[in-house]
A and B are shown apart, each in its own frame.
Chain A
């Protein structure tokens, strides 16, 4: 009995230690963002709680970089990516899982091959292409390469393939065409996977750094991640402002995650096992 209590206590102790390691840095950043200009942020021992909490840094960071404008750019990119991924991946996934046609294997192979090409190897070619199309330095160019992720197509395909065939067969007999069956019968049955695709599309676009860094040159079009990189390059000397900027960038995702965490976990399970 005593052994069991001890073991349980030890387990909680370990959990708390890991918690400090994973959450601690975020709390420290949050705390720094609330410390006023007069408060010493280099104290020893370090102080977690701000002495006079203030929102000053959040207004000050907006004076240096248009942080809300960048957040809006990120939001536009992320929402566009959600819409295109939902539409494109569910349509392609449905055709691969439910329609019979010549060339289906070839189409499937194309998505698998695309999965193998690492983004890092083709960014230069993508950048050259956007420049030739005359759309480099636009938010459209940021969205396009990730508009329909091949992993999302494969996830949707698996979700549709797992549905029982009978309902759709009945609909065929009732004279429903492929589009009607897709929209009215198949799509409502895979809402869980649609949520996973939406969340990962949003997170991927909101967090992306390398591609927007390469394709955007005009600071007016920066997304939040590129803007933060710029901020940290110019105003490194004031950690309070950088802290406020990072809190603005991470807060929406924390809220999203808190509300929809089971889909996040499902996405990792399905994505990692099938990729």
Chain B
């Protein structure tokens, strides 16, 4: 790995003292809770009682739980509809702001602003814009369109939340792509230009292949985070998940069933485990799809 001093430079206990705060925090608040989540998933624990071992009953209940299938459907749909946009739009944006142009630094920073703001803040901003009588409907009316009830209809609400997710992530993934674009060898472009390749042709045969690993990374990161979506849907749809709860996502379901004084922590733990496993599989699937294409 890296060079290390050959002579003895510290006491045996010293490295562990250095590691103590870090290992303590992640041990106590990440790894240990994960272990207890697995354990609790097989009990009927509630907020105020540790519960008893019930075997696989929670998972059987999940299978029969209509809310679970609704939530799974919503979270899956979220991945399917959000990820293509978070892979492509930021890439186009990065191409637009790369290179030198007077004032380009300002545009880059401005495009990043939504990333800096809290999801709560931007969700409230969007809620006001998408209001019955808000900005978007005002503009639609100017253009001669009718009023759209974005937040009253379960489907439109979910689509609005998705648009919000894509919008908020634009700047973040743009910067990821900018870092990758800076690494595309200049010589390749020049060679292709000499061979008479136009801008589009050079993009397709030089830039795009060089960016593929980054696109896969963005796809993997954004599918996992889209699958675990919580804040934007919770804030736009409300704690109960919109009209008749039809906009509930998986993490919203975990939060709703597991918290509060009557929280079914055992059942919520089992749900958490299901979310974890699916998210992990999703990540592996994206990474693997990439490897298959290589052949």
Contact = CB atoms under 8 A, between A and B. Distances in A.
- A and B: real partners? yes
B111 A18 contact: yes
Interface stretch (B63-71, B80-88, B122-130): B122-130
Contacts of B142: 44-45
A126 B125 CA distance: 30
Interface residues of B, number: 96
A8 to B, nearest CB: 8
B146 interface: no
Contact of A114 (B16, B26, B178): B26
A177 interface: yes
Nearest to A131: B47
Contact of A225 (B101, B120, B230): B120
Given A44-B138, A120-B272, A153-B22, A178 B14 contact: yes
B119 interface: yes
A128 B124 contact: no
Nearest to A239: B128
Interface string B23-57: 11111011111101100100000010000000000
A128 B272 CA distance: 14
Given A114-B31, A272-B176, A19 B111 contact: yes
Residue from B117, B178, B231 whose CB has the most chain A CB atoms within 10 Å: B117
Interface string A105-137: 001001101101110111111111101000000
B212 interface: no
Give the interface size class of chain A: 35 or more
A152 to B, nearest CB: 9
Contacts of A126: 29, 33
Given A126-B33, A207-B119, A120 B113 contact: no
A169 B110 CA distance: 45
A121 B276 contact: yes
A109 to B, nearest CB: 11
A104 B15 contact: yes
Contacts of B10: 99, 177-178
A259 B40 CA distance: 46
B221 A272 contact: yes
A23 B131 contact: no
B118 interface: yes
B211 interface: no
Given A100-B5, A147-B25, A257-B109, A269 B179 contact: yes
Contacts of A94: 18
Contacts of A273: 176, 179, 217
Residue from B128, B272, B275 whose CB has the most chain A CB atoms within 10 Å: B128
A88 B116 CA distance: 24
Interface in B70-92: none
7 contacts: A22-B110, A22-B114, A110-B27, A122-B30, A178-B15, A264-B112, A269-B179
Given A28-B135, A124-B265, A145-B29, 10 more contacts: A11-B101, A18-B111, A118-B276, A121-B34, A124-B259, A124-B268, A124-B269, A249-B120, A268-B175, A272-B217
